[in-house]
Structure 1
């Protein structure tokens, strides 16, 4: 059996002071990586700062014989975090965008601050850290990035319009970066984990949390962060010992003559066909989307050369 090792690699894990991030950081170090443990040490709802949170994880890693350093910057200051990794270890090979906060509220009660805080931390925070790491990974011809989405982003969830939008945004960011990074061996994948943490303890019952150990998500992250993995642009659900890959599914198209206008009444007549997934396919690129339209319109649609 091939052993997944990370010897000589430098891993940066954001939000690594608790839960999933802590589990990732300790596992990376145990498999040979040098780890920058980033955590602001704030509250689950945002706000506050405690540098001892990241340092405590570093102390655990070092006491077990690993190499790690602590960083207490906010992901909104992503450049500082990446520079800290470079200052301590001289490079950055792995980035796990894991930091997050929650501001749950029904949409009619959601404030603009509730919306903005979630996007600043989850989406803009991941952008800031990734943008700072990106040129270093491209220059060295190696990088592994994991974005943390959520089932709430994939499917939606009551009271989490802000969180759902940001999490699906992270998947979109990952998909674009997967395309741009492949030629430089910078691979980008996304996970939608379910695990016991400060963010889930308020929305999941205790008996469910008991079987959702963060350590049951970590093996997938280890694999995606390793040289062994050569896949990019993929999305995985993971939790409770279960791992599954998700993909888009498209129903068979209802097509009309593109040289004349069609009516909503005509579309209504074929609505049941549109709603059925019999004869579906699984588009994976923008080109696949264009191809469907072009095929029915009798023209060739393609993106401009990059």
Structure 2
């Protein structure tokens, strides 16, 4: 891909990793590893016109047959995921470093966000208790595309805290 200055990578994660699912801790952890790998591939591949994205399919498989009823299983076919994969693997796709949900005819972007948060360089547990709402607030979310995108939030939080 580097030599051709072109490439498309479509990796497969899972809603179990992104959102959690009872009894699938090992599987979910492995699938979130795929998300991390793809994030780094997108950054490293950018200068070579290599686009890397993740799909988190909802599909009826042998592994999920007990989760979905018969009606839902008929809707959650692999065929209902394929159109997104075809697009993400195509020359027309200029998107990179994104996660997509696909299944049953529904297609959506999934975002990992952060916010300014709370700053206190000498924070104690009591400060966290008192400011947990501010820490959890996502009303001004950004969606970093690299660690470098998150770092300015530390300065903003420090300025806000002073």
Please report the TM-score for the alignment, with normalisation by the length of structure 1. 0.49
- Counterpart of 2:156 (choices 276, 279, 295) is 295
Query: Structure 1: how far apart are the matches of 2:103 and 2:131?
Result: 39
Query: Structure 2: how far apart are the matches of 1:185 and 1:276?
Result: 36
Query: Structure 2: how far apart are the matches of 1:254 and 1:164?
Result: 29
More relative contact order in 1 or in 2 (CA 8 Å, sep 6+)? 2
Query: Structure 2: how far apart are the matches of 1:206 and 1:266?
Result: 50
CA contact (8 A) 2:115 2:153 kept: no
Secondary structure of the residue that 1:200 maps to in structure 2? coil
1:279 matched to 2:140? The reply is yes
Structure 1 residue 213, shift from structure 2 partner: 1.8
The structure whose Rg is larger is 1
CA contact (8 A) 2:100 2:107 kept: yes
1:232 matched to 2:96? The reply is yes
2:66 alignment counterpart: 202
1:190 alignment counterpart: 54
2:76 alignment counterpart: 212
CA root-mean-square deviation:
1.6
Query: Structure 1: how far apart are the matches of 2:79 and 2:125?
Result: 51
Please report the TM-score for the alignment, with normalisation by the length of structure 2. 0.90
Q: How does 1:1-306 map to 2 (within 5 A)?
A: 137-256=1-120, 258=121, 261-297=122-158
CA contact (8 A) 1:189 1:224 kept: yes
Secondary structure of the residue that 2:109 maps to in structure 1? strand
Structure 1 residue 199, shift from structure 2 partner: 2.6
Query: Structure 1: how far apart are the matches of 2:113 and 2:9?
Result: 25
Runs of at least 5 residues in structure 1 that lack an aligned partner in the other structure:
1-136, 299-306
CA contact (8 A) 1:248 1:284 kept: no
Runs of at least 5 residues in structure 2 that lack an aligned partner in the other structure:
none
Secondary structure of the residue that 2:3 maps to in structure 1? helix
Query: Structure 1: how far apart are the matches of 2:137 and 2:157?
Result: 19
